[in-house]
Copies of this chain bind each other. A is one copy, B any other.
């Protein structure tokens, strides 16, 4: 029997505490620290960590602090824990990897989070099925990297390997620039709404979807914008250029050009990986329903009775009031029997490939 492996977590917030729980579930002995000592105490009291502190015998240290503090914390961990492979969970990689610059350090970024901040959102299953980017470089110790990759796979995550700068460019495109754009659209509407109170009454579901992320806490964004500055600027320039081309198409009445752009976007959006299963195997079943107690329970219970997993669920209100369309995303193979069962109960379901 091998000795249990030992890990330390620096920063016992949502992600750090979830990593701690997940590693302990795999038999690791896990200690933890936090700049806010009361948070480490809470994590210990809640059974999230075995001990407080940075373990000098640690095999693995996971640095789970805000991006602007990662490189200092990682360097400290490399010094205190001479045997450890050190990784982090920050959402920007190139500046951190360059600043730390050590064969024992590998940058990481789990694409996981929770609506609930801090310890109370911590969950050993948080990374189950999540994409977890690792950014090894030419300097990275190969056997350490293999062991890190195995540890992360062991807690259920799918490891994607990317060069640090490539990671940063990609998240700028699919996360940072979209976030700034959502906030910008919301800001423009808000400034107009001051003058025209009717404006926000005209904002329908599409606008709500587009701006939902703008409701998030802004505190993390100045750091992200600072750390991933260059990639975000490139992304903003790409967006501005593309919008300028759209403007030309609108100004010129270029119907074919507009249609082509929208068709490309539509095809891509429909093909977006759902993170749950092969997208070609999923269908949206649309079920007009009335808002009354029990209606959702009836539909979802019916799916459960048929042992059909619901991958996604959305309640589209045509507008307001007491009617809506329940959009239930399920495996295409189950579509027919779910629709039959719904029809038998008086619903009028219609099924279509996801996104159509």
Contact = CB atoms under 8 A, between A and B. Distances in A.
Given A214-B266, A218-B263, A315-B313, A181 B173 contact: no
A267 to B, nearest CB: 8
A215 B266 contact: yes
Interface string A106-144: 000011111110001101011111110100000000000
Nearest to A292: B309
Given A266-B216, A268-B190, A323 B199 contact: no
A307 to B, nearest CB: 5
Q: Give the number of times this chain occurs in the complex, counting copies.
A: 2
A346 to B, nearest CB: 12
Interface in A47-65: none
A304 interface: yes
A175 B206 contact: yes
Q: How large is the interface on A (under 10, 10 to 19, 20 to 34, 35 or more residues)?
A: 35 or more
Interface stretch (A5-13, A23-31, A33-41, A229-237): A229-237
A186 interface: yes
Interface stretch (A96-104, A146-154, A252-260): A252-260
Interface string A292-335: 11111111111111011111111111111111111100000000
